[in-house]
Amino acid sequence: MSGALAPGSPQAGLRGVRHARMAWLFVVICALAAACLLSVGIGTRSVGWAEIAGGLRGHTDTLGHSVVAVRVPRTVMAVLAGAALGLAGAVMQGVTRNPLADPGILGVNAGAAMAVVLGMAWFGMARLEAFLWTAILGAGLAACFVYAVGSLGRGGATPLKLALAGAATSIAASSLTVAVMLPRNDIAGGVRSWQVGGVGGATYDAILPCLPFLAAGLMLCLASARSLNLLALGDEAAAGLGARVDRARAGAALGAVLLCGATTAICGPIGFVGLVVPHLCRLLVGVDHRWLLPFSALTGAILLLCADVLGRVVARPSEMDVGIVTAFVGAPVFIWIVRQRRVRDL
Amino acid sequence: MSLTAPAPLAARVASLRRARSRGRCRIAALIGGLLAVGITLTLSVGHSVTPPLDVVRALTGGDVPGAGFSVRELRLPRAVLATLAGMSFGLGGVVFQTLLRNPLASPDIIGISSGASAAAVVAIVLLGWTGAAVSVAAVLAGLAVALLIYLLAWRDRVSGARLILIGIGISAMLESIIAWVLSRAPAWTLQEALRWLTGSVNGATVDQALPVLLSLGLFGGLLLGLRREIGAMRLSDDTAAALGVPLLRDKALVILAAVGLIAVATAVTGPIAFVAFLSGPVAARVTGPGRAPLGTAALIGALLVLIGDFVGQHLLPARYPVGVVTGAIGAPYLLYLIVRANRQGGHA
């Protein structure tokens, strides 16, 4: 970019950008591998390298092996959930053209959690597949509702209106969740697990059913990268360039909803990952969604893994749920973003 | 109007003022009457229904078989606490809304209630404190959060939109502290835990109501004493200064008093959802334009908590804490407010 004045240099500049992006991609993948290793190795009980190696090969002879064997599915879950939330956040920010969009802030996670609780209480749901469908339905309804309320009237969906609509929806949803659960002693023990999300206690049995949903959401989101680039120019410009605005927006939003709903059904509501990660990635690779979306997924996985490891370390011998750690990491970033913007843009 | 002579105009303004103040008295009387009905309902309806006459006899120390204990020991503290906490929330809320000139800037949305709540939860669950110490911790935390939000929202000047958004962010963080502390509390304290998520007046005692009464007397009295200054601050900082209000000192006093009201009540009942947010706009709606409706908002707050508690206890299939009911009322109203502000094209 520095040599933009020399003839032929745009090509060189683009190549430079691509080299930088490839370098960042390498760094991010290495960081992800390191974070996975940390997540397997660090916890309430410390284990040695030999035990990690044995546990990864599936031995469960010693306590150390078993600990590693428990941590592996947890790590897988954290990677999947983090990637899903990071990607969903990037897509939501693109679809709403709004820097504060996040599945937590917009009440999508709360909607999914409420739908699952209602299903458990009123329809006696107990199977994971049923949870998944209900959570995705709840996430979709909450997303449509918040977006509709936030974009009514003149000015469209400003960050302030969307955030307020999301906050109101979250409060209403959690109020209803408590109201439904309170008289039901059989499910009331789960109230807290639907207030804060965590990846502890994940098993392959819980992960497997959500894979198709996550895969479908991933495909939809990644496929919409090009149209998100067009949408970033504004609806009229995007339509002029041949994008089918409504269809592109609906497809991308459906992908994000699938990702959020499936994640919330397994882990409970985890906030702020989808807010922080895209902003970080924009600093690394710029605003091109074809790069931004995969990077958001990778970085989201790293963030959630690190948050999970941190939650295991800070509160020894017990653990801190990952949703709490991400709130502590995310809220300052949220405030920083708000402070960056001019009042008129809010 | 402009064609009429000055003297008749003054007379008309005076008569309008009189009419309006008469109307205001009538409305205050009406709300007071409703409040009395609410208190009577709380006192007389419980596991069994006690006729009002028996309630009066039980309260004046008479011996009413089968009802004396429940009226004096169970229902009276509940009614008193609900009324006092509701007044605190209503008054504190309307002061914030007036000061920040935005109905959405109520302490339960911008995180001040969450701050007080988080401090109270930490003090009770982790540190094992009780009584006045919890209230003091809640007040200090509420003030600290208010100061933090104000400072973070400062860029050249404080804008309402930025302040609300920063408040939402801070309150998300504080809510997660509350959830974390509660997850460390023993499992059998679920009922207690839910108080800190939604707010409730279950198991009220006279001892609990005492700090709320004191703070209402002290801070509420201070706020009512400063009502002229609050009315001037509503116009704008410059206008208030031009009208001769010593702005910084009075503003600091007013914020201190409002945070104190909210925090002490929150330390006892938990953050009863949306009472602080609802009372001000409802009061403004019933009293019409004019002065900031401080007293009316306090009465409306008390009414909301009493009615919400009654509905949650007796009219629904299961027994719910009051916060669940007020949350269910408040959230749609918040959405309505957002939609209406959008339609007017104003800034929400």
pLDDT tier for residue B7 given thresholds of 50, 70 and 90: low
CA distance to partner chain B, nearest, from residue A337 (Å): 10
What pLDDT is stored for residue A180 in this prediction?
78
What pLDDT is stored for residue B42 in this prediction?
87
Q: Where are the domains of chain A?
A: 76-345
Q: Give backbone dihedrals phi and psi of B154, rounded to 5 degrees, phi first.
A: -80, 115
Q: Are A269 and A109 in contact (CB under 8 A)?
A: yes
* Cα–Cα–Cα angle for B45, B51, B54, rounded to 5 degrees: 115
> What digits encode the pLDDT tens for the residues B163-217?
888 988 898 889 888 878 877 777 666 666 666 677 788 878 888 888 899 999 9
**Strands B154-155 vs B157-158: parallel, antiparallel or unpaired:** antiparallel
| CATH superfamily, with its number, for domain A76-345 | ABC transporter involved in vitamin B12 uptake, BtuC (1.10.3470.10)
Task: Name the residue with tokens 């949903």.
Answer: A213
ipTM for the assembly:
0.81
Q: Are B264 and B212 in contact (CB under 8 A)?
A: yes
What pLDDT is stored for residue B346 in this prediction?
43
Task: Name the residue with tokens 């820097």.
Answer: A99
Q: In 3-state terms, what secondary structure has residue A134?
A: helix
Instruction: Among B173, B190, B345, select the one facing A155 at the smallest CB separation.
Output: B345
CB atoms within 10 A of CB B204: 23
Helices (H), chain B: 6-44, 52-59, 68-69, 76-99, 112-121, 132-152, 160-184, 190-198, 206-215, 221-225, 227-235, 237-242, 247-269, 275-287, 294-310, 322-344
The answer to whether A150 faces chain B, any CB pair under 8 Å, is: yes
Is pLDDT at A292 greater than 80 in this prediction?
yes
- Return d(Cα A130, Cα A117) in angstroms, integer: 12
Least Cα distance to A44 among A304, A306, A311 occurs for A311
The answer to whether B239 faces chain A, any CB pair under 8 Å, is: no
Helices (H), A5-127: 9-41, 49-56, 63-96, 108-123
Least Cα distance to B112 among B135, B96, B90 occurs for B96
Q: Which domains are delineated in chain B?
A: 44-59+67-344 (1.10.3470.10)
- Return d(Cα B286, Cα B34) in angstroms, integer: 14
| Mean pLDDT score, A197-210 | 82
| Cβ contact A153–B198 (<8 Å) | no
What pLDDT is stored for residue B219 in this prediction?
93
Q: Which of B154, B342, B344, B347 to mutate to test the interface with A (most CBs of A within 10 A)?
A: B342
pLDDT tier for residue B88 given thresholds of 50, 70 and 90: very high
Q: Pick the residue with more confidence: A257 or B4?
A: A257
Q: Which of B168, B178, B202, B333 to mutate to test the interface with A (most CBs of A within 10 A)?
A: B168
Q: Hey, what amino acid is at B46?
A: G
pLDDT tier for residue A233 given thresholds of 50, 70 and 90: confident
Listed in sequence order, the residues at least 6 apart from A81 whose beta carbon sits closer than 8 Å to its beta carbon are: A199, A263, A266, A267, A270, A304
Q: In 3-state terms, what secondary structure has residue B128?
A: coil
| Mean pLDDT score, A9-17 | 70
